[in-house]
Structure 1
Amino acid sequence: MHHAWLLQGEAGIGKATVAFAMARHILGAGQDGQAVARQIAGGGHPGLLHLARPPVERGTGFRTQITVDEIRRLTHFFQTTAGLGWRIAIIDPADDMNRSAANALLKMLEEPPARSLFLITNHRPGRILPTIRSRCRVLRFAELTPDEIARQLAEDVPDSTQDARQAAAASAGGSLRTALQHLMSGGLEVSETTRRLVAMPAPDWTAIMALGDAVTLKGREAAYTLMAQAAFRAVADEAQALAMAGDLVRAERLAAFWQAEDARWREAEAFNLDRKQVLLTFFNGLAEARADSAAFH
């Protein structure tokens, strides 16, 4: 088996679920499968290390990045489990690694320990080093269809209405997790408002300020994340539509804007910058990108 697998696809479509299922299958071979599954579910299996953003030292929540210190835990993990069979590391997701962490992981992938397996999830291909990607077998996950999501929502949230499930599924971008957030936390209104504001030819600053106020309140972190996802997806959809229509100049300008904003939002999260200002800068930059494209034409 190849030592490193990159599981790529939208957030919330089951990549981590598959990674843990693979770990249960491999670590449970020749063992009591149920006992192994319980160990993995409880985070206590000696042959599995799950790396994600660590919790903050004080208060609740998680840090904004997977740091190099987290990746260095892999060295200790592989050293102390050398007498076991397969040792599996799940990095979930690689998108959250900072540059130092990514470089440290790359060194391990270049010289992997014996009987080691790296299962790496990745939401956006542009957020992972090409050198890491080149050392992995890539398993791409297709987006779930609205019908597939709606059927699963009927099982997960049986007291919801069919109309609500269909609306949540249609706006989820192929992600079951996003659909659940839309259905259960008022996220659908946030996403629809965001997409409507992005679609406007000129910024409606009053509505944008109101959206910023709503999603940056304490305890509204999930709403802020949904807003960001909806904004970036709306820009990506617009760029794709322009490219399909043959308007490559405007498509390229929007794609460049998307990439620059993606990097800026990640930096803002890493340094805990003012989220409302980040949102305002996003819409201002979008207006400028569209104006530049129009002027070029």
Structure 2
Amino acid sequence: MKKVLLGDTNIEVSRLCFGSLTMTPFQANLSVKDGAYLIEYAFERGINFLDTAEIYENYHYIKEALKGIKREEYVIATKSYAYTKEMAKASLDLALKKIGTDYIDIFLLHEQESIYTVKGHFEAIEYFLKAKEMGLIRAFGISTHNIAGAEAARKIKEIEIIHPIVNKQGLGIQDGNIDGMLKELKQIHALGKGIYGMKPLGGGHLIKNIEESFNFVKKIPFIDSIAIGMQSTKEIDANISLIEKGYIPQSLKEQIDKKKRKLIVADYCIACENCVKRCKQNGINIIDKIAVPNEKCILCGYCATVCPEFCIKVI
């Protein structure tokens, strides 16, 4: 698989990034052995880049996978909500210990909303920059669901890498649309900062138009790599075919389509009822202060477009 540099960081990654949340108890609930096997399988097929986060609680999967992968040939990005020096140190120490490594390639502040939230994490940023000087991390950055977060990445020179939501319909972008996000990202890339996008299929809602949706992101010239969740060898093969050829072979597509998809709602739902009002099928209700899909749900994904927290996904 083609490798590219993440901006000016000198970190070389595959065009496809292994999104590792989907293997965890939060979604597919794979065993550590099975999850580690998928990481190794993807690596053997050319994917040398993995995205995780402290909140995913899957560092032990990665540690197991690294038993069969040379550390210097693999790129690991992780994320933390730390906003103090002590929290930042604890997050980095945890990642190093649980993954069983001497360094983390990319450390991101998780879900930054704007320049104000980034500045509110200044103490943690200072620590991560010092950790970079000590060789404990190779690059620092942020992940964001907001155009204002991308704007912060453009304005703050210490941010070297950004991990933003990028998909054709702009699902999950909380303060605008895909055109606004791409306008910022183009400027960010021109500054030499690395960009790896997330949620090219909008949390699963664009899967019915998977090739069109994936190719939309793939063809954006300033997106270095695309992170996507993968739960099986067939999904890995399909995504590799997408990144290399732009399509999924029909036989493989038919096998993947046999998987029964479902709608899930994360426990940080704020019960705003936007999804209930939006659904013309009456397929979702608020029960005990959380949105719950019912038998009328047709997995159309329209509810996700009005969710302010992007907590509704199809898996």
Same fold per superposition (TM over 0.5): no
Query: Which structure shows the bigger proportion of residues in strand conformation?
Result: 2
Larger Rg, first or second structure (1 or 2): 1
Of Structure 1 and Structure 2, the greater helix share is in: 1
TM-score (ref. length: structure 2)? 0.34
